[in-house]
């Protein structure tokens, strides 16, 4: 089976070599939602069917729960997330003074835990971290992706673009080879989407759970037979910065559902 997909990858690489890699034109920007079957779309749009809402529910409970040696809850500082967190996921990653580089939403939650709650960081892809991230991002659902215009993050975003366009792995493919040059075509039974981050964290039927954008990016890297960056690697934040710029204007869908 793996050999088969390897062959499919080589076929795609061949197609890609013929099509010049170009960015997305404005009019053709489409969320991954548009490429799904009506059944999977219905799973996302109906909150009572969307399994991702289980993580939103958990996040809502964690938001209220005092944590760490400071025994303070997220709500202790930020109050009602419905009032204070709207639009945050639409503009993240943002520049973090303390570390001198951009930080993503999950990173911000963990740095808040360390600095304010004086609690241990939550593990990457743990239900708790995913739940809080999903809950916060959910407060921006329906808002257009609007990356921060902070000059300090520009070099990191540029690095993200470079990573997006760099060929990697044994299949020698870049993100752009598939998601810029061949979106809308098929790889095996699946449509190749444009790779927008506007639904994350999201519920993938393949995962049978909610997962982060970094988990998805690692899957892609493994798919092209490259060594994936570790969870929390700065390269992932840079990539996310570029992906958010590329997705500017698309609505936040968190929690999205994807096959």
Footprint of another protein on this chain (CB under 8 A)?
A: 2, 5, 8, 36-37, 39-40, 42-43, 48-49, 51, 53-55, 57-58, 61, 187-190, 204-209, 215, 218-220, 222-223, 228, 259
Which residue number, 128 or 150, has a Cβ lying nearer to another protein?
128
In the complex, the smallest distance separating the C-beta of residue 101 from another protein, rounded to whole angstroms, is 26
87 or 124: whose CB is closer to another protein? 124
Q: Which of 16, 74, 175, 220 is catalytic?
A: 220
Provide the CA 49 distance to its chain's centre, in angstroms: 22
Q: How far is the CB of 111 from another protein (least distance, A)?
A: 26
Residues 6+ apart with CB under 8 A from 156: 101, 102, 237, 238, 241
Residue 1: other Cβ atoms inside 10 A: 5
Q: Where does residue 46 rank: exposed (0-12), middle (13-18), buried (19+ CB within 10 A)?
A: exposed
Annotated active-site residue 175? The verdict is no
Q: How far apart are CA 26 and CA 154, in angstroms?
A: 21
- 187 DSSP 8-state letter: E
Nearest Cα to Cα of residue 140 among 85, 84, 211, 197: 85
Annotate 14-73 with DSSP letters as a single string: HHHHHSPP----GGG---GGGGS-HHHHHHHH-TTT-TTHHHHHHHHHHHTS-BTTTTB-
Q: Which one, 54 or 112, has the nearer CB to another protein? A: 54
CB of 230 to another protein, least distance (A): 11
Give CA–CA dist 172/54, Å, rounded.
38
- Cβ closest to another protein, residue 102 vs residue 194: 194
Rg (C-alpha) for the chain, rounded Å, is: 18
* H or E element in which residue 204 lies: strand 202-204
- In sign, the C-alpha dihedral spanning 44, 236, 16, 225 is negative
In whole angstroms, how close is the CB of 215 to another protein at the nearest point? 8
157/216 with CB nearer another protein: 216
Q: Cβ 196 to another protein, closest distance in Å?
A: 16
Tell me the catalytic residues. 220
């Amino acid at each position: 089976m793996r050999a088969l997909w390897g062959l499919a990858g080589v076929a795609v690489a061949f197609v890609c070599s013929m099509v010049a890699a170009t960015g997305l034109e404005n009019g053709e920007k489409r969320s991954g939602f548009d490429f799904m079957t009506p059944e999977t779309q219905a799973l996302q749009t109906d909150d009572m069917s969307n399994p991702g809402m289980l993580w939103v529910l958990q996040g809502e409970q964690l938001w209220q729960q005092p944590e760490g040696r400071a025994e303070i809850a997220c709500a202790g500082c930020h109050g009602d997330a419905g009032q204070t967190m709207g639009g945050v996921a639409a503009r993240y990653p943002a520049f973090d003074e303390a570390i001198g580089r951009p930080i993503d939403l999950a990173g911000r939650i963990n740095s808040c835990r360390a600095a304010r709650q004086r609690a241990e960081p939550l593990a990457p892809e743990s239900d708790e971290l995913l739940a809080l991230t999903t809950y916060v991002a959910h407060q921006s659902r329906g808002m257009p992706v609007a990356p921060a215009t902070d000059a300090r993050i520009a070099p990191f975003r540029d690095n993200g673009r470079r990573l997006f366009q760099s060929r990697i792995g044994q299949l020698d493919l870049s993100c752009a080879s598939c998601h810029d040059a061949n979106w809308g075509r098929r790889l095996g039974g699946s449509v190749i989407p444009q790779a927008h981050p506007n639904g994350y964290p999201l519920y993938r039927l393949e995962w049978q759970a909610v997962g982060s954008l970094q988990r998805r990016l690692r899957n892609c890297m493994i798919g092209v037979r490259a060594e994936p960056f570790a969870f929390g690697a700065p390269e992932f934040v840079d990539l996310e910065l570029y992906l958010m710029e590329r997705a500017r204007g698309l609505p936040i869908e968190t929690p999205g559902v994807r096959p």
